[in-house]
């Protein structure tokens, strides 16, 4: 998995995460090439995170029954 700092992550994904929304680890950012805290886990909160998880479950299930 590519590692990106919060600034690059937000730029690439169009999100507005802050240090409080994610778990970071010191690593080399593949976006800006600097040694910075990079995003390792996003703490998805609220209804939107719940819906995204349900959507991924459904997507997985559909792929299973279609035999992909
Ligand atoms: Zn970066």
Which protein residues have their CB within 5 A of the ion that is ligand 1? 5, 8, 29, 31-32
**Cross-strand pairs, 17:** none
How many residues are given for the chain?
68
Q: Mean per-residue pLDDT for 28-57?
A: 84
**50: CA distance to ligand 1 center in Å?**
28
The more confident residue out of 35 and 55 is 35
Output helix, strand, coil percentages for the chain, rounded to the nearest 5: 45, 25, 35
CA of 3 to the centre of ligand 1 (A): 9
Q: How much distance in Å is there from the Cα of 9 to the middle of ligand 1?
A: 7
Question: In which band, very low, low, confident or very high, does the pLDDT at 55 lie, cut at 50, 70 and 90?
Answer: confident
pTM of the model as a whole: 0.61
What is the distance between the alpha carbons of residues 3 and 58, in angstroms, rounded to a whole number? 27
Residue 20: predicted pLDDT: 87
pLDDT of residue 45: 66
Quote the ligand 1 centre to 5 CA distance (angstroms): 4
């Amino acid at each position: 998995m590519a590692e990106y700092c919060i600034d690059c992550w937000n730029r690439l994904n169009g999100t507005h995460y802050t240090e409080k929304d994610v778990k970071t680890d010191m690593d080399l950012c593949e976006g800006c090439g600097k040694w910075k805290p990079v995003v390792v886990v996003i703490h998805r909160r609220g209804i939107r995170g719940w819906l995204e998880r349900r959507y991924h479950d459904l997507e997985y299930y559909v792929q299973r029954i279609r035999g992909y």
